[in-house]
Each structure stands twice: as structure tokens, then as C-alpha cells.
Amino acid sequence: MITVLPDAVRQGLEEARKAALKRKDRLSVHDGDATYRLRRLWDGGFALDLDGSERLRGHVDIFDGPKHLYQCLVISSVAEDNERIFEFKWLTPVASGPAADFVRPDFVPAGLIGQ
């Protein structure tokens, strides 16, 4: 079994992996006007490509295509292998509607029939 791959094969595999990630993954981080593609997202943080990613700090937004999913507060970053790992202090889902100051019932009819 070959444990060491030639450089051309390793580079080709890396490019194919990056192309597959770009094709299937639409998650991105928006920091002001700058936008970065997410490689991975987990409970405590996220990872970006090392190439073209800056050290983010502070409030950023996470989108899935055009849909705004989360707001988070980035506190630290570390460069590992070919990606930059970011940790966040909090991650808050973005509400789709206004906040209610009352308890909403579990069952809500689609419409009411008048008399």
C-alpha cells in the first residue's frame, strides 16, 4: 500500500475536494461587505479556507445562500492545515417574524368562518 502520494496526485485530490465543497455547500460568513465561504460549522465554531480568509473578530452573520440563518460573536482564530478555525462566544438564530409578548397556542386555525 502506498502511504506517500506524489505531489501532482495530492494537489489534484485537494482541488477536487475544494470544488466539491463549493458545489454542495452554500453556507457563508458575512463581515460587513466581505463574504467568506464556510467549510464546516459546528456547535463551538466554524472553519474557512486559509487562502483569502482574514482574521475575523466581532459580530458576523452566517447565511445559507440568500437566507440569513445566524448571528455570532467571533472571539478567536487558529490556522491549522489548509483552514482557519474560528471559535465564537455565542450563536443566535435569526427570527423569521417579530417577537411576541404573549403565549401562542399550539393549534392555530388557518381561517375563521364568520356567521
Dump pLDDT digits (tens) for 12-67. Answer: 888 887 776 565 568 899 988 888 888 888 998 999 888 877 778 889 999 988 88
pLDDT of residue 76: 87
Entry pTM: 0.64
Give which of 55, 65, 60 is closest to 22, Cα–Cα. 65
pLDDT of residue 59: 93
**Statement: residue 1 has pLDDT above 60:** no
pLDDT of residue 87: 92
Residue linked to cell 386555525: 109
Task: Enter the CATH code of domain 26-93.
Answer: 2.40.10.430
How far is C-alpha 43 from the geometric centre of its chain's CA atoms? 11
Q: List helix spans (H) across the chain.
A: 7-24
pLDDT of residue 24: 57
pLDDT of residue 4: 80
| 3-class secondary structure, 108 | coil
